[in-house]
Amino acid sequence: MPSRTRYKVLGICVLLASVTYLDRICISITAPHMMNELGLSRVQMGYVFSAFTIAYAIFEIPTGHWADKIGTRRVLARIVSWWSIFTMVTAAAFNYPSLLAVRFLFGAGEAGAWPNVARTFSRWFPLSERSTAQGIFFMGAHSAGALTPGLVTFLLGYLHWRSLFLLFGAIGFIWVAVWWRWFRDEPSEHSQVNTAELELIQRGRVPQASHDLSWERWKQLLSNPTVVALCAMYFTQSYGFMFYITWLPTYLRTERGFSDAFLFSVAAGLPQIFSVAADLFGGITADRMSRRYGVRLGRALVGGGSLFLAGLLLIAGVYAPNNYVAALLIGLGGGMSAFLLGAAWSTCQDIGGPHTGVVSAAMNTSGQIGAFICPILFGYFPNWTTPMYLTGTLYCLGALCWAKIDPTRLVWKEH
């Protein structure tokens, strides 16, 4: 019988996802306190949110390429150490420029985390399990995201917002210690992997190849129809998701009148709560649909269908006159936008082969550009309705991109 060491790898990556979202979403809940103490306007806070994402986008592809060259064990250890330090340094911010700089450096350090995980899964999981593994990974992220609003709201009753960043930043160092001691880049290097599991993992896997990418190969990447469509699709997905983890709490308080702490925490956490189930079942559904209808059609039906529904639900939520119905519909829209994550990231593994880090980083870079634009754009609009309708429309346009995505063709063919 094959050993199950790959599931332990999945487990430690799920913990990584949880810590990531704990640190990311904390600032959206503490934002009103930070704005009051530091004298920030809504537009300035939008730039603070986006400082993280633009740095993340700039360093995403270099860090993904770095992981392809030296392995994810060392790169992820550096990433988590860096972002944990700057989560703690956020507590020292004393004005707008200092907070902007800290969040930029935070994003620069965290860049490449998701491509590194995709790269890890491409080496540790067989093709038939990749969408499910990615779905479970994102389930861990969104589980933390669902719990964070309530946790932070509770802790703010006892701790200053600065103390929260010190506390949450310290958690990452525990993860690094476990990861560095136990994980290995290749299953063949791990003492707990038996021969049967190694054969299962390597069945159908693209062989390791040179990690040096010439300019000709970079041009192939940037012009590949599937990569271009993936990037355009993920731009819309990340643009919308950034609204959920930055401005949604403020929208619920100011526009929808959620003043009760408990109801506010539940409403703000709904997109993450629904995303937990969407991540798991989206990944499982993508693998099952791929086995039944083929990889291309199976992934496209899950990815395109879920993103189209996400757009319709968000628009319906803005239109709904009842505050509770609105919060429910908006939350469901956030959940449906996460249903495609297993299909999207496993597609990067399929077409990237030994260069999975670079391909998934390219897709995520496009997503971070969308995530950078979203908070700033919301800050400039005089109302909430227009930018939220725009977000829903972008989701629907992103769904159309799946018609061009073909997971069956490698970006580069090794000779």
In the prediction, which pLDDT does 359 show? 86
Would you mind telling me the total number of residues written for the chain in this entry?
415
CB 352 within 8 A of CB 360: yes
Q: Tell me, what's the pLDDT at 336?
A: 94
| Spatial CA neighbour of 303 closest among 282, 322, 323 | 282
Longest dimension (CA), the chain: 63
Our CA dihedral for 371, 295, 117, 193, rounded to 10 degrees, sits at 170
The pLDDT value recorded for residue 211 is 54
Q: What is the pLDDT of residue 128?
A: 81
The token duo for 251 is 């929208």
Sign of CA dihedral 26, 170, 78, 7: negative
Query: DSSP letters of 140-179?
Result: HHHHHHHHHHHHHHHHTTTS-HHHHHHHHHHHHHHHHHHH
Angle between helices 5-38 and 42-70 (to 10 degrees): 150
Q: What is the pLDDT of residue 208?
A: 55
**pLDDT at position 135, please?**
85
Per-residue pLDDT of the chain (415 residues; tens, 9 = 90+): 889 999 999 999 999 988 887 877 788 888 888 999 999 987 898 888 888 888 888 888 888 888 888 899 999 999 999 989 999 999 999 899 999 999 999 988 888 888 899 899 988 998 888 888 988 998 888 788 778 878 888 898 898 999 999 998 899 999 999 999 999 999 999 999 999 999 998 876 655 555 566 677 777 777 889 999 999 999 999 999 889 878 888 888 888 888 777 777 788 888 888 988 898 899 889 889 988 898 889 999 999 999 999 999 999 999 999 999 999 999 999 999 999 988 998 898 888 877 788 888 889 889 988 988 888 888 788 888 899 999 999 999 999 999 999 988 877 665 4
CATH of region 5-197+217-404, choose from 1.10.287.130, 3.40.30.10, 1.20.1250.20, 3.20.20.150: 1.20.1250.20
The predicted model scores a pTM of 0.76
Q: Which residue has the tokens 């150490």?
A: 81
Q: Would you state the pLDDT for residue 415?
A: 40
Neighbours of 254 (CB within 10 A): 13
